[in-house]
Amino acid sequence: MAHAADRTPDLACGRSRSSLIQSRLVARPCPFCSLSGERIVAEDEFTITVRDICPVSPGHTLVIARRHVSSLFDLTADEAAALFRAVSRARLELDGEHRPDGYNVGVNVGAAAGQSIWHVHVHVIPRYSGDTRSPRGGVRHSIPGRGHHEIDGD
C-alpha cells in the first residue's frame, strides 16, 4: 500500500510519486501520453476519447484524463467531473453509432484490480443482447466465482 509520502507531487513532471514509481516499474512509455490525432474521437480541456485498440465489443471506448496520473482518486474534482461528462458524451455517440442494449463502465485502479496502463482511463463497453451466456451481475464477476448474489427483485 502506498503511503501519503509516496503521493507527494513531483514538480518536475506534474506526476505523483506513486505514479512515477509505477511508470518506472513498467519501464515503457505511456501509450496515452503520445496518442496520434487520428485515434482521437473527442476531446476537451481535461479528457481525450479514443476507441480501444483491443475492443472487447464493437464500440469499446476509452475516456482518458489528459493529465498523467495513475489513479482515478488522484484526479482533481474538476478533472473527475470532466471525465464522467466525457463518458456520458461517449455513450450518446455509441448509442447512435452502435445501438447497444447496455453498457459496462469501469476503471481499474491498481495492479490488484487489473490496471496495466498507469494513466487513468475509463472503459465504456457497449453490451449487446446475447454477447455472453449470462450477463447478470456484470462487473461483479471481476473476481471469478464471487459475483453471484440473489436479492428479490434484482
Which residue, 89, 72, 73, 82, is CA-closest to 46?
A: 82
- Residue 151 in this model has a pLDDT that exceeds 60: no
What CATH architecture applies to the domain 7-130? 2-Layer Sandwich (3.30)
- Of the two residues 147 and 14, the one the predictor is more confident about is 147
Predicted TM-score (pTM) of the model is: 0.77
* Predicted pLDDT of residue 82: 98
The pLDDT score that the predictor gives to residue 12 is 35
Q: Nearest Cα to 139, choosing from 123, 121, 117, 128?
A: 123
List active site positions.
121
3-state secondary structure of 122: strand
Cα–Cα dist 82/44, whole Å: 8
The three cell numbers locating residue 17: 510519486
Q: Which residues contact 105 (CB under 8 A, 6 or more apart)?
A: 87, 122, 123, 124, 125
Q: Which residue has the higher pLDDT, 85 or 29?
A: 85
User: Regarding predicted confidence, which is higher, 98 or 137?
Assistant: 98
Amino acid at 102: G
Q: What is the mean pLDDT of residues 113-121?
A: 94
